[in-house]
Amino acid sequence: MTRCGFVAIVGRPNVGKSTLMNRILGQKISITSRRPQTTRHQVTGIKTEGEAQTIYVDTPGIHIQTRDRNKAINRFMNQAATQALRDVNAVVFLVDRTRWTEEDEVVLQRLEHVKAPVILAVNKVDRLQDKASLLPWLESIGARREFAAIVPISAKHGTNVTELEAEVARHLPESVHYFPEEQITDKSQRFLAAELVREKVMRQLGDELPYQMTVEIEEFRDEGRVIHISALMLVERQGQKKILIGENGERIKSIGREARLDMERALDAKVMLNLWVKVKRGWSDDERALKSLGYDLD
């Protein structure tokens, strides 16, 4: 009897959703950084073990749209996360230890009308100084709604992640598998290449460069043993372009070097990577521009 189902991983920004999915899959599919809102798209990760195939959907962090976070791209991220809750067989709601924020409350409200069972996963418990404080907090949060299960975990170190997967598996329906056993994502190699470049920018320049930066793959040519990739980094102002290039081009070289190494590991081939920077004013608040850059819920 084969089983297969969709599971949405939701939570506020920077709570560890992408780290959790990468841990479950055993390799990097979703990019990560210390900056909130690193994930901008729904990213699908597929895990097949024996008779069961679980299709995880990593989502952008659901966030409050304040004056400085009310651009088209912010609306897109919230819509992408909410859309992922439709027609799933289970939801993993990820929160951070004993910290409950206003944005956690927003996520909880979004889950009110979800018919699928919701599993509460409490992340980063390895960082908890006072372990005794966890139980009363779990009881208080458990009173907010009926959860199918509450599982304390550490996505980074793998603590209790197997137990979380076992809880998820209980809610998978009988079904044929939707994907081949060896497939781990439905995203293209072009998409993964663009995300790896953006990850390096977020990690190296997260404090200096605002969120108005995205990456577009202009060339992806696979010649067998060598893949040629040209990536265009779009920013909104000339000053941001200077930051990305760095003094004597050192920053863009560093970003390219780190991205290329990750690409070679992910694509299992030698990569020749060329990076460019271009100013495209207002792209992050222009819905037509967003669609042309791949920010499309369809």
243 burial via Cβ count (<10 Å: 0-12, 13-18, 19+): middle
Task: Report the DSSP pairing between strands 52-58 and 3-10.
Answer: parallel
- Single-letter amino acid, residue 293: L
Cα 45 to Cα 63: distance, rounded to the nearest angstrom: 23
Q: What span, in angstroms and rounded, lies between the C-alpha atoms of 197 and 296? A: 20
Binding-site residues sit at 11-18, 58-62, 123-126
Q: How far apart are the first and last CA of the chain?
A: 32
Distances from the Cα of 234 to the Cα of 32, 155, 206, 254, 281, angstroms: 20, 32, 15, 17, 9
Q: Which residues contact 211 (CB under 8 A, 6 or more apart)?
A: 37, 73, 284
User: Binding site for GTP: residue ranges?
Assistant: 11-18, 58-62, 123-126
